């Protein structure tokens, strides 16, 4: 069982221009909720007590928006990576010391989903498994990432990695790759599940508008 999480929020959001000219992508809103706050609330409602958020481009906006987490009843720590991207895996390596060598949940800020995190919180990874990922069926606007064989990830294009997973810190110490995706395509001892509910990648203004229209927001 874990009660700690990382929200990856350091991307520059170039594909979202001009919407991200003056604010970082995690500060975009769907309805009355920013992308970053949606993840914080969902994680805290599931039982997460501590969230580390890595920020980059215009990251001060995120820091000012979420504060120290007290208004959500949790602890929030901000890891400012500066304006130059360092990679998702490097961003996690920078903040793993916050988690006392215990597993943690990783969530991408730039997704929109009704996934409930409670199952990940209660999951115990076996000794041989370095991570458990949440996949979903490939939407028309994305290429697939992986397949699943015997409950483990493998090369293929049937499913999309949702940007949600439970990770052991050892996974990031065993590799020097700067991006998570590169590590996932190398490591074989990773399990996965298929989520059938709502999930979208908020990668372009068109997708953002699609989600808003679907939800009538």
Q: How far is Cα 185 from Cα 208, in angstroms, rounded to an integer?
A: 28
Q: What is the pLDDT of residue 215?
A: 86
Residue span of the structural domain in which 202 resides: 4-214
Residues 6+ apart with CB under 8 A from 10: 54, 55, 56, 57, 59, 81, 85, 86, 88, 91
Q: What is the pLDDT of residue 23?
A: 93
Torsion of CA 38, 44, 47, 51, to 10 degrees: 100
Residues 6+ apart with CB under 8 A from 81: 10, 54, 55, 56, 59, 91, 94
* Structure tokens belonging to residue 57: 């481009």
Phi/psi-derived region of residue 3, left when phi > 0, alpha when psi is between -120 and 50, beta in every other case: alpha
Q: CATH number, domain at 134?
A: 3.90.550.10
DSSP 3-state of 182: helix
What string of pLDDT tens digits covers the 217 residues of the chain? 899 999 999 988 788 899 999 999 999 999 999 999 999 999 999 999 999 999 999 999 999 999 999 999 999 999 999 988 899 999 999 999 999 899 999 999 999 999 999 999 999 999 999 999 999 999 888 888 999 999 999 999 999 999 999 999 999 999 999 999 999 999 999 999 999 999 999 999 999 999 999 887 5
Number of compact structural domains in the chain? 1
Q: What is the pLDDT of residue 217?
A: 54
Provide the whole-model pTM. Answer: 0.95
């Amino acid at each position: 069982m874990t009660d700690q999480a990382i929200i990856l929020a350091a991307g520059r959001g170039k594909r979202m221009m001009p919407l991200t000219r003056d604010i970082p992508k995690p500060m975009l809103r769907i309805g009355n909720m920013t992308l970053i706050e949606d993840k914080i609330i969902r994680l805290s409602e599931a039982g997460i007590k501590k969230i580390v958020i890595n920020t980059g481009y215009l990251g001060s906006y995120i820091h000012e928006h979420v504060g120290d987490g007290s208004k959500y009843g949790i602890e929030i720590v901000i890891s400012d990576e500066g304006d130059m991207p360092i990679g998702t895996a490097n961003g996690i390596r920078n903040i793993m010391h916050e988690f006392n060598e215990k597993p943690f949940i990783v969530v991408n800020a730039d997704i929109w989903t009704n996934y409930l995190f409670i199952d990940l919180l209660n999951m115990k990874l076996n000794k041989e498994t370095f991570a458990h990922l949440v996949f979903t069926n490939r939407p028309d606007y994305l290429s697939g990432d992986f397949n699943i064989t015997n409950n483990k990830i493998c090369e293929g294009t049937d499913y999309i990695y949702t940007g949600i997973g439970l990770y052991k810190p050892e996974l990031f110490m065993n590799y020097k790759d700067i991006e998570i995706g590169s590590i996932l395509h190398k490591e074989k001892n990773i399990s996965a599940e298929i989520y059938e509910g709502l999930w979208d990648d908020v990668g372009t203004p068109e997708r953002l508008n699609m989600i808003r229209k679907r939800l009538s927001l």
